[in-house]
Structure formats: C-alpha cells, structure tokens
C-alpha cells in the first residue's frame, strides 16, 4: 500500500519562529522593566557615616583597607590624629586620596550609614 505523507502547512515553521522571537523580545522587555535601577552614589558622605566606633575587623571590609591599614586607623583614632569621618583618613600613613575616595563611595552606598541605624551590621567575610 502506498500512503502519501501527511501534507504540512508551509507557513507553520515561519509562524512558530515568529512566535518564538516575539516571546523572547517580550521576556527581555519584562526583565528590563523589573531590573533595579542603580542609585546614584553621593559625592560626599553625610556626617552620619561615622567611623568612630568601627573595629579594625569592620574597617577591613571597606575597599582598600587591609589588616595593617585598619589597625593603623584604630591607632590614629586612639591617638586623636583622626576623627570618625572618611575625610580624615588621609592623615593615616599609607592611605591616599584614592583610598579615601573609594571608602567614601562605599559608605555612600550603604543604607545603614544613617542616623537611624541601630548599629553596624556584622562583617561578612569574602
């Protein structure tokens, strides 16, 4: 018996392809709308981002501050050479304006650096 193959609709692959493209574009558009917009980083940190009571371990979590610099910051604070703001960190040996700028930027990003923060959150080690 000779049976003919079933006839196919010639537009079916094109319609499926177009439906797939429209689905992908719709998903991309939805993801773009759901994506969080980055908040602008403040150029200057408000005085409430106070480093006065930060331990050396907590200071090490900031960019550009390793163990030696963090200990030196605590010593300088103890000696009265610096205050609790990020601007005075340049008075610590080994910390330059680039490190101060990175620390200032990081503090501006942290929402808990505000007068309403109950306490500094625990340090998360990388």
- pTM for this entry: 0.49
Range of the domain at 113: 40-126
- Number of domains making up the chain: 1
CATH number for position 53: 1.10.150.280
Contact 49, 115 (CB under 8 A): no
Task: Identify whether 29 is part of a domain.
Answer: no
Long-range contacts of 63-69 (CB under 8 A, 24+ apart): 63/99, 63/102, 63/103, 63/106, 64/95, 64/98, 64/99, 64/102, 64/103, 65/95, 65/99, 65/103, 68/94, 69/94, 69/95, 69/99
Tens-binned pLDDT, residue by residue, of the chain (126 aa)? 566 666 677 677 788 889 999 999 999 888 887 776 665 554 444 444 677 788 888 888 888 888 999 899 899 988 888 877 777 888 888 888 898 888 888 887 776 554 434 444 445 555
Task: Identify whether 104 is part of a domain.
Answer: yes
Contact 75, 91 (CB under 8 A): no
Give the span between the Cα atoms of 59 and 8, in whole angstroms. Answer: 69
């Amino acid at each position: 018996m000779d049976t003919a193959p079933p006839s196919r609709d010639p537009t079916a692959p094109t319609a499926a392809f177009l439906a797939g493209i429209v689905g992908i574009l719709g998903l991309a558009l939805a993801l773009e709308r759901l994506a969080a917009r980055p908040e602008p980083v403040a150029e200057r940190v408000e005085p409430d981002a106070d480093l006065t009571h930060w331990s050396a371990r907590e200071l090490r979590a900031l960019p550009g501050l390793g163990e030696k610099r963090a200990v030196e910051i605590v010593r300088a604070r103890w000696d009265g050479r610096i205050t609790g703001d990020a601007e005075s960190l340049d008075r610590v040996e080994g910390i330059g304006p680039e490190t101060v700028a990175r620390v200032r930027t990081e503090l501006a990003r942290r929402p808990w650096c505000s007068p309403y923060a109950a306490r500094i959150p625990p340090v998360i080690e990388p």
